Amino acid sequence: MTLVSGWGRFPVVDSELLRPRSFEAVGEAVAGCAGAVARGNGRAYGDAAIGASRTVAMTGFDRVRSFDPATGRIRLEAGVLLSDLIDTFGPRGFLPFVVPGTRFVSIGGAIAADVHGKNHHCEGGFGRYVESVLLRTGQGEVIEASREQNSDAFFATIGGMGLTGVILEATIRLRPVETGWIRERVISASDLDAAMRALDAGDSATYSVAWIDCAAGGSNLGRALIYLGEHASADELADGADRFPVGKDPGLAVPVDLPSMTLNRYSIRAFNELYYRMGARRAGRSHLVSLYPYFFPLDSISAWNRIYGRRGFLQHQCVIPEQGARDVLGEILDRVSKRGDASFLAVLKKLGQGDGILSFPLPGYTLALDFPLKGDILNFLDEIDRLVVAAGGRLYLAKDARQSRATFETGYPALKRFSAIRRSLDPAGNIRSKLSQRLFDEV
């Protein structure tokens, strides 16, 4: 057995880790086993990518099957990383339509979590650009599923957290781009109302996201920097500039677990003050930035999860429906700023309708916060959950390690339909993760 954990390093669980080399071996790894689940690149924070008894690592499957430069349609194995896709096809003028905040996720992981990017409010999630998947179900069949064919399995697999089976391959559409540069405009907002107004005004921008200073309270509560972005065209580049910038490997690494002392209310407050002021100085003007720092600001420091110390950390990402969001978000941020131990920066973003049956997004605002795992944090987050549920919101499964079954069931009303499809694909219950054991009615 091997100790396995997600990016947040909590929980750490014993699970047999297998690295199959062929699709047949994937089948064997899943068959006749009391609970296996696929694992991509392990960037889910909690327990989604840990098998109840066996974890099937998929990153060895990293081949591109075919690519059509006329349509941007690409067929690939599920273990290909988005970073690989960007580095390989970016210079050829194609990027994924949707990328999350780190590029080190696999295609399988991006589909299974139906990941959202800074463009969800207008362009939807990763799943929208998936045309079909080759799925190895718990029952042992290998099926091709699309909007037309096996459509129940298709919509349950998008956002289905690996619970419908193992995605072996997928056909997705890539976005044609002229350059690898983003025209960015920063807006500074002095409080939550201004931040939400700026995000609403950014509805027509392709990309938009707000970084909130969650240490600020009182009249500064919810002060934020809003980053809007558009793909830059070739004629916007300065003469001699590379049409496609090169993505550097993370140079700076956090070599050891920092003592949890490093993150305290003073260091966080000082950092955020500086960050806000530097951003506010740039506000208004627009300028070109490489896609790498624009989309993946955290990727420049590898193993940054060690900043939170050995015990790990929790991310809390909720989405609140538009109606009444202002009050709930204000209440959450107020409680967080009074605690003073939350993340350096919180992320606030607008989402649109999700595509999969169990997809996280719904039209509204999503707030993501990191908390070091200590003290009464679990109780605190339970209280926040009550606010979220009361407002008709839900939590993101790819970031979750601790929500209660009740919170989950109320937040995801389509769960019954999902479970029925799952049972039909896997009557014996071969596919099971630590997350599904925790949140679904199963042992």
Partner 1 sequence: MTSRKTVLVLGGSSDIGRATARAFAKAGYDVQFAGRDVAVLEPDAADLRARYNVECSIFKFDVLDTASFDGLVGGLPALPDVVISIVGLLGAQENAQSDLAHATTIMRSNYEGPSLILGLFAEKFLARGNGTLVGVSSVAGDRGRASNYVYGSAKAGFSAFLSGLRARASSSGVHVVTVKPGFVRTKMTEGMKLIGPLTVEAPVVGDAILQAVERKTDVVYVSGKWRLVMLIIKTLPEAIFKKLKF
78 contact choice in ligand FAD, partner 1, none (CB below 5 to 8 Å, kind-dependent)? ligand FAD
130 contact choice in partner 1, ligand FAD, none (CB below 5 to 8 Å, kind-dependent)? none
Contact, 30 vs 36, CB < 8 A? yes
Cβ neighbours, 10 Å, residue 105: 24
Q: Which of 3, 19, 256, 267 binds partner 1 (CB under 8 A)?
A: 19
Binding site residues, ligand FAD, CB under 6 A:
7, 37-44, 48-49, 58, 78, 100-102, 105-106, 108-110, 112-113, 115-116, 161-162, 166-167, 298, 398, 433
By beta-carbon proximity to partner 1, the closer residue of 71 and 264 is 71
Q: How far is the CB of 152 from ligand FAD (least distance, A)?
A: 16
- Residue 74 touches partner 1, criterion: CB under 8 A: yes
Q: How far is the CB of 63 from partner 1 (least distance, A)?
A: 4
Contact, 361 vs 352, CB < 8 A? yes
Name the one range near partner 1 by CB under 8 A: 66-74, 107-115, 369-377, 387-395: 66-74
- Give how many residues touch partner 1 by CB under 8 A: 11
Q: How far is the CB of 381 from partner 1 (least distance, A)?
A: 35
Q: Could you give the count of Cα atoms lying within 13 Å of 108 in the half-sphere of its Cβ?
A: 31
21 contact choice in ligand FAD, partner 1, none (CB below 5 to 8 Å, kind-dependent)? partner 1
- Residue 142 touches partner 1, criterion: CB under 8 A: no
Q: How far is the CB of 414 from partner 1 (least distance, A)?
A: 36
By beta-carbon proximity to partner 1, the closer residue of 82 and 186 is 82
By beta-carbon proximity to ligand FAD, the closer residue of 20 and 72 is 20
- Residue 17 touches partner 1, criterion: CB under 8 A: no
Q: How far is the CB of 220 from ligand FAD (least distance, A)?
A: 25
Q: Which two tokens stand for residue 23?
A: 């699709």
Q: Which of 34, 65, 266, 404 binds partner 1 (CB under 8 A)?
A: 65
Alpha carbon distance 120, 113 (integer Å): 14
Q: How far is CA 55 from CA 7, 42, 243, 342, in A?
A: 15, 11, 40, 31
Name the one range near partner 1 by CB under 8 A: 84-92, 149-157, 290-298, 403-411: 84-92
Q: Which two tokens stand for residue 344?
A: 């350096």
By beta-carbon proximity to ligand FAD, the closer residue of 252 and 390 is 252
Q: Which of 21, 285, 338, 416 binds partner 1 (CB under 8 A)?
A: 21
Q: Which residues bind partner 1 (CB under 8 A)?
A: 19, 21, 63-67, 74, 88-89, 92
